[in-house]
């Protein structure tokens, strides 16, 4: 086992756990918020399991997933906008619970939790199919175009998974106001994809032909 990689993964996991917990429960003013704990559970338990699996079976993929240092200037702006979106969405969700602005039925949170877990399964399948999947926009050494499985349906199945994940999170928390905020992810991701495809077309052999074969980016027959 790569002890340095393991330590890096554990530190990032714990930092993420602490940060999300603070963003949720501080605005809520209490720990007695079951939707907050539900989101923490469905978000971090599968994340921990996925990290252990990648550590054992594909440490290089885990290393790439932990690297968030973007080289493209355009992507740095995208990351900043995404961070602001999540910051606002989590804080508003906590405040919505605290002040009871808009109360959704309990079943909405449970249905959204099921959607979230299904999206997580989709996310895991994308990781299985694409060993070059990085969190940053780049073309890696010996990288090849993946055009089978989910990549034969849309060009960016990872963004399809994250779109479902991010839009279901505010509903798990029972906050329609936060859901409206996370809709900003659609133009943010569109901006990221536009720049990413420019990088891939210029640096990845066969990507231009792949775009012609697979015409939809994120959602089959829609986008």
CATH number for the domain formed by residue range(s) 3-213: 1.20.120.1630
Residues 6+ apart with CB under 8 A from 164: 115, 116, 118, 119, 122
- 133 has pLDDT over 80: no
Give yes or no for a contact between 135 and 64, defined as CB atoms under 8 angstroms apart. yes
Calpha distance 171→35 (Å, rounded): 9
pTM of the predicted structure, to 2 decimals = 0.91
Instruction: Quickly state the pLDDT bin for 65 (edges 50, 70, 90).
Output: confident
Average pLDDT value for residue range 31-47: 97
More confident residue, 63 or 111: 111
Give yes or no for a contact between 192 and 58, defined as CB atoms under 8 angstroms apart. no
With the C-alpha atoms ordered 188, 189, 195, 199, is the resulting torsion angle positive or negative?
positive
Over residues 3-29, the pLDDT tens digits come to 788 888 899 999 999 999 999 999 999
């Amino acid at each position: 086992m790569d002890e340095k990689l393991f330590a890096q993964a554990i530190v990032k996991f714990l930092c993420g756990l602490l940060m999300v917990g603070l963003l949720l429960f501080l605005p809520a003013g209490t720990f007695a918020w079951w939707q907050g704990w539900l989101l923490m559970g469905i978000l971090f338990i599968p994340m921990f399991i996925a990290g252990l699996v990648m550590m054992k079976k594909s440490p290089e993929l885990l290393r790439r997933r932990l690297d968030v240092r973007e080289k493209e200037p355009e992507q740095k702006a995208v990351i900043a906008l995404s961070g602001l979106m999540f910051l606002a969405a989590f804080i508003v969700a906590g405040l919505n619970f605290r002040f009871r602005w808009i109360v959704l039925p309990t079943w909405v949170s449970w249905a959204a939790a099921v959607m979230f877990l299904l999206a997580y399964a989709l996310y895991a399948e994308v990781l299985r199919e694409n060993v070059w999947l990085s969190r940053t926009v780049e073309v890696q050494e010996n990288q090849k175009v993946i055009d089978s499985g989910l990549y034969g349906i849309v060009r960016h199945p990872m963004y399809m998974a994250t779109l479902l994940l991010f839009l279901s999170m505010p509903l798990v928390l029972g906050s329609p106001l936060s859901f409206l905020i996370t809709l900003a992810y659609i133009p943010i991701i569109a901006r990221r994809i536009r720049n990413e495809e420019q990088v891939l077309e210029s640096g990845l052999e066969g990507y231009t032909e792949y775009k012609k074969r697979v015409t939809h980016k994120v959602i089959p027959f829609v986008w």
